Structure 1
C-alpha cells in the first residue's frame, strides 16, 4: 500500500513504524512542515502502561523511549508558603524533540521516507497514495478542506495558559499555587531531562489582565512569572522556547472533536482528530494509541473503508472516558478559588479527585471527608466508584496527587 502521512508528529511516525514492521513492502512517506530538529513544546509525560503497549508494537522503539526518559514517584503541591507531598505511581518524562528523534530514526531505519520542510496546505500537493494520514495537528489543513465531511467542532476554555520550560529539574511532579492581589495563578511542572522541566502556567482571564500580562512583552512576562514563583523555581529562569527562537504566547485551550474521522481515503490521527486538556497529560499517549489502533485496523481489514470505519469506532469509544476526565479537570481549574481555602493536603486530595462529576456540586470540605471515609467504608467506596467517571487507569489512578 502507498501511504502518505501529513505531519511528522508522534502519531504519524509511530503509525509508519508499525506499518513497516507488519509489511516492509508498504511504501510510506512522512511529510513534516518544520525543519529537522525543530519542534514546539518542551517535554511530554506518560505512565508505565503506555510503555507496555509500545513494547507490544515495537520493542526497539519502547526500549529507546524508556532509556531516554526520566522518572518520578511523588507529587508535590506548593500552596502559598506551605507544601505537601503525596506518593504516586511511577511517572515518566521525555523531551518532545528527543521523542521525535527516536521515532524518526526508527522509521527511517525501517525504510520510511521522512521529508522535512514540506508544508502541505492542499491535498493536491501530496504524492499519489491509497491512504492519507492527516496527523497535522489541531489546525490540520487537510481536515479544513472538508469541514462538512469531518464535522469539526472547537470549544475554547476560559483560562489563559502559557507553555514554558525551566532549568529547574523538578524531582517530583510539581504543582505551585500563588495568590496575587488579582487572584490565583499556578503552574504544573515536571522534569523531562536531567536539567530541564516543562512549566505550564495558568490563571483566569481576570488574573491575567490584572497582573498586566495583556500588556507585557516576553521579557516582562518572564520576569514577572519568575518573581511570582521565585521560591519554587529556586533561582532558575523560565525559558520561552527550547531552541531560543520565537516566543511563547498566552493561549486559551481549544478542545477539538470531529463527527467523522475519515473521508475519501483521508484519516485523522492525534490532535487532528481530537484534543484533551493538558491538565490530564494525555495528548501524546492518545496520539500513539491512535497509531496502534489505526495500524491494527488496517492489518485486520483488507478493504480500506472497512479498516478506517473500524479504527474510528474503536478510538471514539476508547477516548470517551479520557475526554470526560479532561472536561472535569479543566473545569476544576477554572473554578479554583472554590478550593483554595482548604489546607494543602486536602487541596491535593481534591486535586486527585478533580475528574469527579460530583465534586462541583458538593461542598469541598464535605467531599474531602466523604472521600476519606470511603477509603475505610466499603459501601461509600462503592458509591464513589459508581458516581465518578470511568476514567482509564493511566489517566486517573496514576495521576500525581491521586490519594
Structure 2
C-alpha cells in the first residue's frame, strides 16, 4: 500500500510510524510545509490519563517518548494571591520542538519518508496513493478545498489568547487569575524544559480593548502583560515567538472521509487547550486509524469505517467537555467573588464530567476544605 500523509504534527507522524513499523514493505510519505527545525510554539503538556493510551498501544515507544519529559504530580490555582494545590493531577511536559524531533527520529528509524518545506494545496496531487491522511491542523487548506464534501463548521470563540514563554519555572501546571482595573487576565503556565515554561495569557475581548492591547506592538503587549503578572514572573520577562493575539476556533466535520482521503487531528476536530487534549486526540486518532488499517489492510473504506466508529463517540464527548470548559473561562468574571477554595472546586467541576465523589477520591484534602466552608453539598 502507498500512503501519503499531509501534515507533520504529532497525529500524522505517529500514524506514519505505527504503519511503517507494522508494514515495512509499504510506502509511507509525510509532507510538512515547515522546516524540520521550525520552532513555532512552546511546550506541550500531557495528563497521566492522556499518556495511558500510549502505554497501552506501544509500551516501549511510550518509555522512549516520556524519557526527557518534565513531570509534576499536582496543579495550582492562584486566586486572590492564594495558591491552592490540586492533588491527584499528574502531568508530563515537553518542548513542542523536542516532541516533533523525537517523532521525526522514530519515523526515520522505520523508513518513513519525510519531506519538509513542502506545501500541498491540492488533494489531486496525492490521490493516486492508496490512502491520503489529512493532518494539516485547524486551518487545514485541504479540508477547506473539499468543504462541500467534509462540511466543516468553524466557530470562533470570544476570548483573546497570546502564547508566550518565560524563564520563570512553574513546577506545577498553574492557572493564575489576576484582576486589574481593566478586567481579568488568566495565565496558563507550566515548565517544559530545564530553563523554560509556557505562559499562555487569556482575557476577554472587552478587557483586551480597554487595556489598549488592540493598538499595541508585540513589544508593548509583552511589557503590559509582564506588569499584570509581575508577581508571578518573579523578575523574569516574557519571550515572544510569533506571539500574536488570536481567538480559539472550534472545528467539527460532518463527514470524516472522502474516497481514499481521511481527516485526523485538528483538521478533523479541535479540542480546546484548556483541556490539554489536542495532541492526545490527534495521537489517539493515529492509533485508531492504524488499528483500522490492521483490521482491513486491503480495504481502505473498511479501515475508515473502523476508525470513525471507534473515534466519533469519543470526539463528540471531548468537544462537549471542551465547550463547557470554554464557557467557564469566558464567564470567569462571574466566579471571582468565590473564595480561593470554592473557586478551585468550581474549576475542577467545570466540564460536568467530575462529580463531588470523583473529586473526593482524587483530592480528599480539597474536598475536606470545601465541605468545611459549605457543609455537605448535594451530589
TM-score, scaled to structure 2 = 0.92
Q: 5 Å matches for 1:289-300? A: 289-300=284-295
The answer to whether 1:106 aligns with 2:101 is no
Partner of 1:78: 78
Q: Which residue of 2 aligns with 1:150?
A: 150
Instruction: Give the match for residue 343 of structure 2.
Output: 347
Q: 1:25 to 1:56 in 2, by over 3 A?
A: farther
- Superposed counterparts of 1:183-194, under 5 Å: 183-194=183-194
Q: Deviations over 1:262-306 (max 9, x none)?
A: 102110010000001111110000000000000001111231112
Task: For 1:278-293, list aligned pairs within 5 A.
Answer: 278-293=273-288
Q: Kindly tell me: are residues 251 and 259 of structure 1, through their superposed partners in 2, closer, same or farther at Cα, counting changes over 3 Å?
A: same
The DSSP-based 3-state class of the residue aligned with 1:333 is: helix
For 2:221 and 2:126, how far apart are their aligned partners in 1? 41
Say yes or no: does 1:240 pair with 2:240.
yes
Aligned ranges for residues 92-241 of structure 1 at < 5 Å? 92-126=92-126, 128-241=128-241
1:69 and 1:351, CA in 2 relative to 1: closer, same or farther beyond 3 A?
A: same
Tell me which residue corresponds to 2:262.
267
Structure 1: distance between partners of 2:216 and 2:48: 40
* Superposed CA offset, 1:39-76 (max 9, x none): 42211111223433223433443122211111111222
Please, which runs of 5 or more residues in structure 1 have no aligned partner? Answer: 242-246, 360-367, 385-403
Deviation at 1:313, TM superposition (A): 2.2
CA deviation digits over 1:321-344, x for unaligned, max 9? 211111111000111111101111
Contact 1:61 1:102 (8 Å CA) reproduced: no
Tell me the C-alpha RMSD between the 2 structures.
2.2
Q: Deviations over 1:145-170 (max 9, x none)?
A: 21111010011111111111111110
Secondary structure at the counterpart of residue 120 of structure 2 = coil
Over 3 Å counting, the alpha-carbon distance change for 1:56 and 1:85 in structure 2 is closer
SS in 1 for 2:118: coil
Aligned to 1:395: none
For the residues of structure 2 that align with 1:39 and 1:125, how far apart are their CA atoms? 28
Q: Which whole-Å deviations, capped at 9, do the CAs of 1:211-237 have from their partners, x for residues lacking one?
A: 110000000000010011011111111
Residues 77-104 of structure 1: CA distance to partner in whole angstroms, max 9, x if unpaired?
2223332222233211111111111111
The yes-or-no answer on 1:314 pairing with 2:310 is yes
Q: Distance in 1 between matches of 2:59 and 2:79?
A: 41
Q: What number of residue pairs does the alignment pair up? A: 366
Quick check: 1:305 aligned with 2:273? no
Q: 2: distance between equivalents of 1:17 and 1:320? A: 26
* TM, length-normalised to structure 1: 0.86
The question of whether the paired residues in 1 share the 8 Å contact of 2:127 and 2:260 is answered with no
Contact 1:18 1:57 in 2 (8 A): no
Whole-angstrom distance in 2 between the partners of 1:158 and 1:357:
24
**Unaligned runs of at least 5 residues, structure 2:** 356-366
- Alpha-carbon deviation of 1:249? 1.1
Decide whether the 8 Å contact of 1:10 with 1:287 is kept in 2.
yes
Distance (whole Å) between structure 1 residues aligned to residue 127 and residue 237 of structure 2: 45
Q: Which piece of structure 1 moves more, 280-289 or 69-78?
A: 69-78
Partner of 1:328: 324
Question: Which piece of structure 1 moves more, 278-287 or 310-319?
Answer: 310-319
